[in-house]
Amino acid sequence: MLARIFITPKRGVLDPQGKAISSSLHSLGFGEVSDVRMGKYLEVQLDAAAGRESAAERVKSMCERLLANGVIEDFRFELSDGPAPGGGATHEKEKRA
């Protein structure tokens, strides 16, 4: 079983990385960007033998105890059956001759 975990700064918490990214995007001509929030994404492979409900409880505990700082970060997660597909999504640049 695969847990996809998304950790983001809570609304109202200063996000200096997000502000720096937003400013850089504007400098590069992406004026349509109105806000950027920088977070973390994790993929955790779990033994599926314990069941989906138990896995959800364990992932929630992982987030609360270690992965997310509850004072300044929110988290959410998704569970899916099977292993991580090839290490996540990638984007390759078009090769030019």
Q: pLDDT at position 97, please?
A: 43
Contact 32, 39 (CB under 8 A): no
pLDDT in tens, 27-44: 999 999 999 999 999 999
Identify the structural domains of the chain with CATH numbers, from first to last.
2-80 (3.30.1280.10)
Among 29-38, 43-52, 82-91, where is mean pLDDT lowest? 82-91
**Residue percentage of the chain with pLDDT more than 90:** 78
Read off the pLDDT of each residue in 13-34 and give the average, rounded to a whole number. 97
Q: How far apart are CA 49 and CA 65, in angstroms?
A: 23
**DSSP-derived secondary structure for 7-57:** EEEPTTS--HHHHHHHHHHHHTT-TT-------EEEEEE--GGG-HHHHHH
